[in-house]
Amino acid sequence: MPGPGEVLVSIETYSPNRGEAFLLESPRPGWRPGKDVAGTVAATGPDVTWPEVGTRVVAHPESGGWAERVVVPVSRLAVLPDDIDMVVAAALPLAGLTALRLLKVCGPLAGKTVLITGASGGVGHYLVELAASQGAILTVVVGTPERGRRLRELGAADIVHDVTATVGPFDVVIESVGGDVLPQAWARLAGRGLLVWLGQASREPVTLDFFDWSGAESGTLRKFSYADSDSGEGDDLATLVRLVHTGRLHPEIGDVRPWSDTCAALADLVARKVRGNLVLKIDPGAPEPAAVPDEP
């Protein structure tokens, strides 16, 4: 049951992220997956006056969200207007918070050239729409034309399938693939530009040669974690909800399935078959999902 400052959320939908699927390979003791959920407040902690039981919410628990119920601190949720569907809401937290906080780190982007690698996932779709609405001139890297289709509609000016197909220089690079891609992207950074490094989707480590002068003479390399933020999860979730509610942010839901399909859905997520976000729906009448294998 919820303690002080917490509510119990009865979950309707949750959204697994690819990074969480990898964590299943060697889970920490006591850890349970699940950070992105949408549902209804079922019970409140002793001191909680908001939100009330029955309120529709989107939430970002630290863990445990691939379930029918989860306890969440009030500081990690936002209230959902009736016109935001639970499927759409579940896709918001991790990917949306990451995109929003990346933009804060990048600073004003109006008129700047921006390169985004690994752009076909959940983070990439939010990032492209939010950066384009600021006036950034966006080049995105995706695996196939189909995986880039929606990004064009959301505001990407140029879509390529390999970083080496870009010319640059770019004022800002947002890099999440690692391996050879980071040094290739670094070589396309404009002088005194900013490269924000947020992930290693390829799972290949990065080697950078300081004495490779093929790129800019100087630049900033910033390692990014969405958890390092001056703003709280609840406030930023409320911003994302407001953007969706007012038609300025359009979550890209690549796949929606019943939660009994969790294992197959995770396999597709890992295999790069899902564009945008994967969302699973809890059907109270359906059997619980089979145990997730150690290596999805």
Binding mask 192-231 vs ligand NAP (x if CB under 6 A, - otherwise)? ------xx-xx---------------------xxx-----
Nearer Cβ to ligand NAP (168/178): 178
Does position 184 interact with ligand NAP (CB under 6 A)? The reply is no
Calculate ∠ Cα 68-281-152, nearest 5°: 135
How many residues sit in the footprint of ligand NAP (CB under 6 A)? 25
User: According to CB under 6 A, which one of 121, 193, 289, 296 is a site residue for ligand NAP?
Assistant: 121
Check binding of 56 to ligand NAP (CB under 6 A). no
Helices and strands: H and E segment counts in the chain: 8, 13
- Work out whether strand 189-197 and strand 56-59 pair parallel, antiparallel, or are unpaired: unpaired
| Binding range to ligand NAP, per CB under 6 A, among 50-58, 142-150, 233-241, 284-292 | 142-150
Q: Are 147 and 161 in contact, with CB atoms under 8 Å apart?
A: no
CA distance 117 to 183: 12
Q: For residues 7 and 40, what is the distance between their CA atoms, to the nearest angstrom?
A: 10
Minimum separation from the CB atom of position 35 to ligand NAP (A)? 10
What b/e readout covers 60-95, taking b as 16+ CB neighbours within 10 angstroms? bbebbbbbeebbbbbebbbbbeeebbbbbbbbbbbb
Q: Please state the closest distance from residue 141 (CB atom) to ligand NAP, in A.
A: 7
Among 96, 124, 289, 296, binds ligand NAP (CB under 6 A): 124
Using CB under 6 A as the binding rule, the residues of this chain from 2 to 41 that contact ligand NAP are 17-19
Residue 92 in contact with ligand NAP, rule: CB under 6 A: no
Whether residue 32 contacts residue 1, with contact meaning beta carbons closer than 8 Å, is answered with no
Cβ atoms of 10 and 40 within 8 Å: the answer is yes
Binding residues for ligand NAP (CB under 6 A): 17-19, 94-95, 98, 118, 120-124, 142-143, 147, 176-177, 198-199, 201-202, 224-226, 272
